Amino acid sequence: MPYATDSNRPDPENGYPNRRVQHRKLSASRIVFLLLICVVSTGNSAAVYRWVDENGRVQFGDRPPRDKEVNQITIKTAPTPSSTAPAPSTESVDTKERLEKQQRMLDAYRDERFEKQAESKERKKQEEDRARECAYARDRLSRYQGASSIYEPMPDGTERTLSDEERKSTIAGTQRAIERLCR
């Protein structure tokens, strides 16, 4: 999507000023403002005063009132990160080992979850296959029982009619298949 480089120029698609460029300008000005505040505030280390007002409330300020008794408070500055960097200790090694152990456990849990999901998918597929085979076997049994004779296809393309004994055996085999598949 083309966009204007001038924030006041409307976007040709919707007619509104291009907010993308305007947002970038705001972000850059915010960064400059924050940097300026940091520089100004670090150079200014003003004193802080404490006093009790006429209502008995404790007040703090950078300028003491003229008609009150004030105490100047010294504020401890936070140490710089380089001066407080801890020396390598056994605690940091223990922490590192603990984090590594935690990561190994998380990896093992993730792997176990993936294995369970794969097993669940496989079981679901097997159940679907068995349900399909069950329906097929029930259909075959219904056809066998409703037919007066059962034919067996021969390799040469002809059909052979099963005897009554073979027909009963085929129906019994189909019933056993239904018992096994349709649980």
Asked if 178 and 141 touch (Cβ cutoff 8 Å), the reply is yes
Specify the pLDDT at position 94: 86
Supply 140's token pair.
């075959």
Q: What is the mean pLDDT of residues 137-157?
A: 91
- A 10 A CB-CB count for 7 gives 15
**Beta-carbon contacts of residue 86 (< 8 Å; ≥ 6 apart):** 92
Asked if 29 and 38 touch (Cβ cutoff 8 Å), the reply is no
Whole-number Å distance between alpha carbons of 178 and 134: 6
Question: The whole model's pTM is what?
Answer: 0.41
Specify the pLDDT at position 6: 46
Q: Among 33-47, 61-75, 129-143, 157-171, which stretch is predicted with the lowest mean pLDDT?
A: 33-47
